Amino acid sequence: MQRVELSAFGLSNLRFNEVPVPAPAAGEVLLKVMACSINYRDLMIANGHYKTDIPLPLVPLSDCCGVIEAVGSGVSDFAPGDRVVSLLWQDWLSGPLCADQRTQSPGCETTGVLSEYAVLPATGIAAAPESLTAAEAACLPAAGLTAFTALTTLGQLQPGDTLLTLGTGGVSLFALQFAKAMGANAVVTSSSDEKLARARDLGADHTINYRLNDRWGEACFELTGGADVVVETGGAGTLNQSMAALGYSGRIAYIGGLAGFAGETSLMPLVIKNASVHGITVGSKADHLRMTRFVGQHQIKPVIDRECSFAQSIDAIAAIGEGAHFGKLVVSF
């Protein structure tokens, strides 16, 4: 079988390699991979900007949808022919995050899924929603679940509340779709008027071009009276404006660092508004199953910017850093 391997940090060190098809050990399943989705995290890992104490060579990517080809001994929840998705955290099954969880994720601490076949623990997979294609289902494990836990477990978003989500990547568009399904209002920012128009087509109530208005947080507050939940994907470079956008007793779900993780920030707005910032690290398997039910109930379809072939997958990992996509980038086998 063919797979992609990262031999050393840096995109130039991604290569295709031919290896034997692995066999599942006890408690594992062998998947024939149908589709993978790419997250910004995957680019950071490849460039050595996420973690450096990971085993190399490494097969990249954490998120896939596939069909089970074989199961190891002791596996009773799944059978050959089942269509499943990988979970980003293989060892966080339920409840609040503890020290001995969030330690094993494909494409980082363990072998990833950018491969024609992949072996995963049976505890680290879940049934793929019947309503979604393989490409759509592959978008759920990281981006979908991150948005869902930001709005539910942390955000406690209610009908009539206001969400602010930054940009139009996978997490942000999932947050928009989930918020509208929950009966909330949504504000979306982008530097592209074309992308903002597409966001309005998805249900955004207000859109703000941050390139034309660098005080977009204050603009959001003026438009809405303050956001109840902010899905913060920018990081330190956008946090001040996210706090300006926040309403009283609002919650910021801090997810990423597209604009950097370090910078000068005044936290006084959090005190004045009795507000909070909370880090989000995707979610547990139990959270994923709740999200899957929600996706099916509301017939939500992940937004895919484009699908590429396995042969184009290395270029696609690089492309996610350009920020030109609207939604998810997917590799289809």
Identity of the residue numbered 203: G
Q: Out of 279, 294, 310, pick the residue that ends a domain.
A: 279
- Asked, for residue 88, whether it belongs to a domain, the answer is yes
255 and 229 co-located in one domain: yes
- pLDDT of residue 317 exceeding 90, the answer is yes
* Average confidence (pLDDT) over 140-167: 97
- Asked, for residue 288, whether it belongs to a domain, the answer is no
Digit-coded pLDDT (tens) for 7-31? 999 999 999 999 999 999 999 999 9
Residue-number span of the structural domain to which 195 is assigned? 144-279
Secondary element (H or E) of residue 64:
strand 63-71
Above pLDDT 90, what percent of the chain? Answer: 89
37 and 159 co-located in one domain: no
Secondary element (H or E) of residue 231:
strand 227-232
84 and 127 in contact (C-beta within 8 Å)? yes
Please count the structural domains in the chain.
Answer: 2
Neighbour tally for 308: CB within 10 Å: 16
Secondary element (H or E) of residue 253:
strand 246-254
113 and 148 co-located in one domain: no
Digit-coded pLDDT (tens) for 218-265? 999 999 999 999 999 987 789 999 999 999 999 999 997 665 566 677
- Please tell me the predicted confidence (pLDDT) of residue 266: 76
78 and 171 co-located in one domain: no
**For position 88, which CATH number holds?**
3.90.180.10
305 and 325 in contact (C-beta within 8 Å)? yes
pLDDT tier at 78 (50, 70, 90 boundaries)?
A: very high
273 and 186 co-located in one domain: yes
What does the alpha-carbon distance between residue 279 and residue 107 come to, in Å, rounded to a whole number? 21
- Asked, for residue 295, whether it belongs to a domain, the answer is no
260 and 311 co-located in one domain: no
* Average confidence (pLDDT) over 145-164: 96
Q: Which two tokens stand for residue 28?
A: 């594992």
Digit-coded pLDDT (tens) for 262-302? 667 778 888 899 999 999 999 999 999 999 999 999 999 99
209 and 274 co-located in one domain: yes
- Please tell me the predicted confidence (pLDDT) of residue 97: 85
Identity of the residue numbered 68: I
- Asked, for residue 296, whether it belongs to a domain, the answer is no
